[in-house]
Structure 1
Amino acid sequence: IQCSCCPRKIVSVRVCSTLHLFVTIRGRPEPEVKWSKEGDTLSERAQIEVTSSYTVLLIENVNRNDTGKYVLTASNCCGSKSAFINVKVLDSPSAPTNLEVKDVKKDSVSISWEPPLIDGGAKISHYIVEKREETRKAFTSVFSNCMRNSYKIDNLQEGCFYYFRVLAVNEFGTGLPAETTEAIKVSEVPLPPGKITLNDVTCSSARLSWEKPAHDGGSKITCYIVEMQAKGDDTWTKCSESKALDAIIDGLTKGKEYFFRVCAVNQKGKSEPKCLLAPVIVKDTSTEPMISLLSNTFSVKAGNDLKIDVPFKGVPPPTATWKKDCNALKETSRVNVSTSDTSSQIIIKDATRIDVGVYEVTLNNSVGTTSAQIFVNHNVEPPKIILEDKFRQVVVVKAGDLLRIEAVISGHPNPTVFWLKNGRNIGTTGRVEITATKTHTSLLIRESVRKDSGQYTLTLQNTGGTTSKAITCKVLDRPGPPAGPLEVSGLSAEKCTLSWGTPHETGGAEIMYYIVEKCETSRVAWTLVYGDMMSTTCKITKLLKGNEYLFRVRAVNKYGEGETLESDPVKAMDPFTIPSAPTDVEVTSATNEAMTICWKTPASDGGSRISGYIVEKREKQGIRWVRVNKKPVYDLRVKASGLHPGSEYEFRVFAENAAGLSEPSLPCPLTLGVLLFFQKKMLCNLKDYESQE
């Protein structure tokens, strides 16, 4: 077999052109010729011509799939012989292989793939990554120049379904795409459930409840799994599965301690478990019902709604029954009764005179029974608050003065009075005195200070409703401390930067400036740095290296200097050190007057860039080291000249950065300047020999 193209060489042909393989053959008797394609079937488009002396394989309009090894086999009764020709069709590549989704988060997906089986006869230059939402038909480009075989696709919409595809690119164009077969939902496992609460324990069961996870991972929570572990046991066992936010765990052993934890489950899997903080001791905690009514008298105006709420306690939760005027209470479209584990409630819409009377609620559980009577009257006056005009604006007092807030009140039955400051209940204590009568209430604060500034709320409540009035008070005083912490940044051996926040309590006046001071921890006295700093950040200079400092800041308004905000102690040190010594110092060339010294960079630059190197020399009999280069060199070699002929020298190197010089390197071995010295000595010996002759 004799190929017109050299065997084992690659025949390259452009896509859409014609592949023409001509091979000369001979044999006696005339051989039988067979063409094949290794690892694949021969294209149906292949045209084969065979004569007694040659054979031709012709494929028109070739494409990337025609790439491969073509094998020609000639055989007769005397034997057989084969030859192969590698054909490469120059085309865009085929689709990448093994496209996989590696990791799915709530807003990102990571994919990976392998190179195409057919590269189109040219090196793959890069890949194009595209995405498509399930509800859309067109793909959009994510990254058009990916050089690796993996990519993380960010900024996806949580909970949406996406398809992804990858295309390889070579110099002939963009190849076929590899696409994910199924839509990928962008989500992850949910966060753990919220707080777990033990609601009830009996001698054989426990009832737990929990809060929803802060985030469902982008996929709906399908259920919650409750697991338990007996004290002393190492394994967790599944004890309940619930779609609600609570579960009852039965079959517990009395007297044993159990740990419980809850996992949330979505389409992606289980969340991390949330554990009940304390172990549960299985014991009988039954208690008889107990009613805790604030008032047993209610009033209602005709036409208004009546709401009677009876809170109670009891284990197991008791059942509630209601009576009116000694008869069982009938529920109608106007009268509704609802009972939970902690309260029983009656709501009567559009109350009339027939709804007035005595109501009785009876609670019953396995431990006991209790009841309470509630009286409903029909004369109700909602609470009302009347304030003087001066309390409708901001009430301003100076520090140390008396702060007094007064109001006229009314309502039937007599309303309950509550005073709050910034949303928190306050009562008579220390400097604060609260008084209340049927028609009047007042709040007195003696020797007021800056912290007494804020919003005070007067709230009245009775069966007719609730009403509130807010009064804003401002105490004029020196400001409070600046908002912390006092942060120290940019610390070096000589300077640093301080920053802080404006005070939460301004003392009722504008902050004019700040006073900044410093103090060495080894001293008692504070030193003024800035006496009129207008901003909330400043630079401190002239620190002493190695000393430890404290800094403090206080705000100033027109009433004086406020409280100080102090920093933690800090030491004035550079954030870097001297470098380590250079290594492998050696003489690479030498003459009688000069030597070239080389070395390697230090193992550590001390955190600051190496700014240069200092080289020193010393003769064999010498004691002192002498500097070779006047200025630091930046290369890793230097030439030492001006040496004494015939003398031996050793050299050492220092590295230098912003912190200073390193320790010296280990000296190189003693080196003799020999070249010119021996030349002169040989010349002298030759002259002596000639004179003797």
Structure 2
Amino acid sequence: MIHGSELRIHVKTSRIPVGQAFENHDVLQKRPNPLFHEFQSRPSPNPRELQNSVVLLQTRPSPKCQISQKSYFTKKLPSKYEVDENKTVVLECETSHTVSTTWYHDKKELSGMDNRELVQEGRTQRLVIKKASRKDKGTYACAVKDQTTETKLIVHANGAKRKLVIKKVTLEDQTDITCMAMNIKTTSKLKIEEVPSLKIDDEAISQRLELRSQWKPTVEVSGYPTPEIAWAKDGTKLVTDKRVTTFVDEKSTTIAIYSTDRKDSGTYTVTATNIAGSTTLDLKLKVIAPPSPPNSIAVLNIASKSVTLQWEPPLSNGGSELTAVPSPPTAPLEMRSTGANSVMVSWGVPESDGGAPIEGYKIAVRDIKKTMWMEVGRVGADIQKLTIKDLQCIKRCDFGRRRTSKTDDSSPRCVRDACKQSIFGTEATAPSFGRSRSPF
């Protein structure tokens, strides 16, 4: 303590003192309880004088000073302890301080003189029962002052345990199971749960189909209780309609797309869920279709016998990488009069068929002052000319022709070529494209 500070001493005696003697101390006050005394030191300039201070209490007979400290259990006994007969039992608890404890069996104090040994190691208290028998069962308690911890000891006789083991459990095993001994019986209900399982042939996991095909994979479903089935496309709940639908029965689920479209490409996920868990399976579909027409066609240059075009890639590649882009029929595009009201148009074979065989050509005509085209004839792939008869106008007209193939979708943005020609008597001008809508 700091020199010059005040020190108070409290002393409890077991007997009432008859006299008091002290050095460098004052009695503060008398207490209602004569067993308690309080002293206060006088500040002294000499620290050693305070260190050597002595408090003397004289009693009849000589008093015993006691320090009261409450003990409690920091580790209690388990609520229940089970053991087979002839096995060793160790019951252990721990107190907050090193104190003596008392053990009880069914409220009778134990002496440790039989097969039950009492052991104390510091704050650890143990009761060791060697070769436990049925007579050792009951309630055991360890007490320290007013604190108690207890456990119930259960001793199983040898051969008293019986087990029923069912290997490779099936749904047929789900029933009530009863165990009987003499006139006593107990019944338990066996409940079986099975995590859902989804199976499908490997070749159906990922498929490539042509446009307007039918896709109808069936997934086998197992699990108990019967799982609930849900379908999703690209992570979003699948919306069904007349074209896309799903079926579910007790052992399978099927998704059906009766006429595939480009937008059907994606990942389809089926999920099976029950109380035992959940399982998912992904199916991938890729729809292969002709690419969409080239985008944003523009005329870059027009010469007497050729025209230069430019376009952007198609908006859709049809589900596979583009290998070639079709070219228009090659120049020169020629026209010559074959009669009073007829003209013959001729052209060259395209440099590229775009990856699909050319099936033929379409020829159309329009008044140069109008926007609408009118088809006037078609020829096969092996013919590069057409005679147009019964022309009624004596005007300047545009003639156009376009190759057709299996990938042709009749879009007005398809590659085309045209030229401008006076029907009667004038020379042909350079090929051109009208700014109006094309019939192709």
**TM-score over 0.5 (shorter chain):** no
Larger radius of gyration: 2
User: What TM-score do you get using the length of structure 1 for normalisation?
Assistant: 0.20
TM-score by length of structure 2 reads: 0.30
